[in-house]
Amino acid sequence: MNQSFGIPLMGLATPIGTGREAVAPALFAGTRAGLVPRDSLVPGRTVHVGAVGAPLPPIPDGLDLYASRNNRLMLAALRQIEHGVRAAIRRHGPHRVAVVLGTSTAGILEGEEAYAAVRRDGAWPAGFHYRQQETASLAEFVARALGVTGPAYTVSTACSSGGKAFGSARRLIRAGLADAVVTGGADTLCRMTIGGFASLEAVSAGQCNPFAAGRDGINVGEGAAAFLLTAEPAEVNFLGLGESSDAHHLSAPDPEGGGALRAMQAALADAGLASSDIAYVNLHGTGTPLNDSMEGKAVHALFGAEVPCSSTKGMTGHTLGAAGAVEAAFLWLALHREHNPEGFLPPHLMDGKADPAIPPIRLAGRGERLAAPDGAAAMLSNSFAFGGSNVALLFGREDRS
């Protein structure tokens, strides 16, 4: 087996809670409370979105150019692991701590609000700066907030961004360019993105229903997750990464799921594991007809109907560039024995029956658990993006007995 990389710390802000202690019980119980109706995002239409309701921390003094909801979401997650990051800085030096984060919308919300002010008042708001909506702002802001001087950059590959950031973070450590990396991702609700999905007729009329026969689209969500990645083993470890680029279509996935299957196979090969070693799969599961159909084919081809699977987007909505990171955080919670001592799996939530046209996969129900709650386990999470950018992350833990 290849070397695993430890993930000793994780922080998150999601529509179902902020912080590990709040999110874990909501995740394992299965809640739809994070999906709320909003009538201010798409003209003439009410849509359900996954909104983070917790208060967010202010931007630190001296970093006003980075003032955006996206950066504040990331800061909320970062504050939960900051003590460990500070310890890494003291141990290795600020030049040996890197930052690699994923995002898609970045600070577009602030740009929308500023442009509305121009239309209304005839002038740009005094506090607005173009830098607030730059994609690169996320990693640069975190590096400055932490005072680290190692490599710092943002990955933006649409809905695979937060997952692909892990691959880039691991490569920095393997290349000897960093000893520890702050990685993860954040994305924020904004009108442009939701309007774009609505124009593609991809937004659900209600709450999304991944893999259901009557599914009709996504709910867009927002969220952030931050991790500390090191070369030393931890309770939860990063075991494998699989990436593929099928470039089937600008916005539609390969209907046969070829790229998705190759990404999962590559993650297993990277970790030196077989499909039978996987205890749970977090599906990309957006709730669109095409995505769920192709992912069902790929998952069935690799795992049959034996491995428990679920799409947690039925709780959070699709957090876009943050999805790979937020759903990796759900794997971390499921594997971490302190936060999940009874070994619960995130349940699959949908209204109605599973689509019989999709090859059978085992959708986890409420209360389903790992066969050995205290034993070794490995779990996989999928993220697939426009343009055929696919990533599969594989996390695991050692046997404690």
Question: In this structure, are residues 101 and 123 in contact, taking their beta carbons and an 8 Å threshold?
Answer: no
d(CA 389, CA 399): 34
318 is catalytic: yes
Residue 125: partners with Cβ closer than 8 Å, 6 or more residues away: 113, 114, 117
Three-state DSSP class for residue 190: coil
Residue 357: partners with Cβ closer than 8 Å, 6 or more residues away: 213, 293
Phi, psi of 391 (to 5 degrees): -145, 140
Helix, strand, coil distribution of the chain in percent, nearest 5: 35, 25, 40
d(CA 238, CA 363): 24
d(CA 114, CA 119): 9
d(CA 45, CA 128): 29
Question: In this structure, are residues 379 and 281 in contact, taking their beta carbons and an 8 Å threshold?
Answer: yes
The catalytic residue among 48, 300, 318, 336 is 318
User: Burial of 2 by CB count in 10 Å (0-12 exposed, 13-18 middle, 19+ buried)?
Assistant: exposed
Residue 199: partners with Cβ closer than 8 Å, 6 or more residues away: none
284 is catalytic: yes
The catalytic residue among 284, 336, 339, 348 is 284
Q: Which residue has the tokens 């912080």?
A: 19
Of the candidates 178, 371, 396, which has an alpha carbon nearest to the alpha carbon of residue 270? Answer: 396
> How many other C-beta atoms lie within 10 A of the C-beta of residue 121?
9
Phi, psi of 350 (to 5 degrees): -160, 160
Give catalytic residues, as residue numbers: 159, 284, 318
